[in-house]
Amino acid sequence: MRRCVVIGGGGHAKVVIDAMRLQGRYKPVAVTDSDDLRKQDSVLGVPIVGNDNELKKLYSQGIKHFIVGLGSRRNNLTRKDLFDLARGYGFMPAMVVHPNALLATSATVGLGSLVLAGAIINPDARIGENVIINTGAIVEHDCVVGNHVHLCPGVRLSGSVEVGEGSLVSAGALVRQNLQIGDWVVIGMGAVVVKSVAPRSTVAGVPARRLRSERSR
């Protein structure tokens, strides 16, 4: 198995490590975490070796693969930054698919992405890099999901939905078919999206309505 570092040592890292072990392609051997007080701690038995400054040393020790083990916070900017940091050191992104996920043979999943238990990705769907398809999420036929997106547990994307880079679709949200979700959008928990969403917007509710625009990117 290929040795792999998990970047981020919170609760989501437990899910990443468990899926990795069940998949059997990668062996999690180290975790980095921004909280220096957690050094010498562990996540499901995998040692936290220090903060992200340890990545260069880990690469020199022959660990060549990584996956971002950080779940989303307010948005996915930190996950993107960690992904880019590791790539800059030369690491190759791992792609982890839980054995209880269902992927159509014509679906594609990018490097660094994570597909968790009960998730379904249907024909001709395209998933970008560093994407989380979380527990029980459904991506229907012909959807396009951009890099660094997080589809939280129970999300439902109907057919031919496009989700732009970095967007966060919170737990239980539903998106109608043929819609476009812009880059760096946040969709609230349980929202029902019936219209396309402009980039850098936050929407919530049933039906989903725009709350504000994000101007940081």
Residues known to be catalytic: 141
CB 96 within 8 A of CB 26: yes
Nearest CA to 66 among 45, 52, 50, 76?
Answer: 52
For residues 81, 202, 137, 78, the Cα torsion angle rounded to the nearest 10 degrees is 10
Q: Is the dihedral of CA 52, 18, 105, 183 positive or negative?
A: negative
Q: Do residues 150 and 71 make contact, with C-beta atoms less than 8 angstroms apart?
A: yes
Which helix (H) or strand (E) is 128 found in, with range? none
Q: Which residues pair with 28 in a beta bridge?
A: 4
- In the chain, the amino acid numbered 155 is V
**Kind of pairing between the strands at 26-32 and 2-7:** parallel
| Upstream peptide bond of 207 is cis (omega within 30 degrees of 0) | yes
Taking Cα atoms as reference points, which of 189, 193, 190 lies closest to residue 209?
193
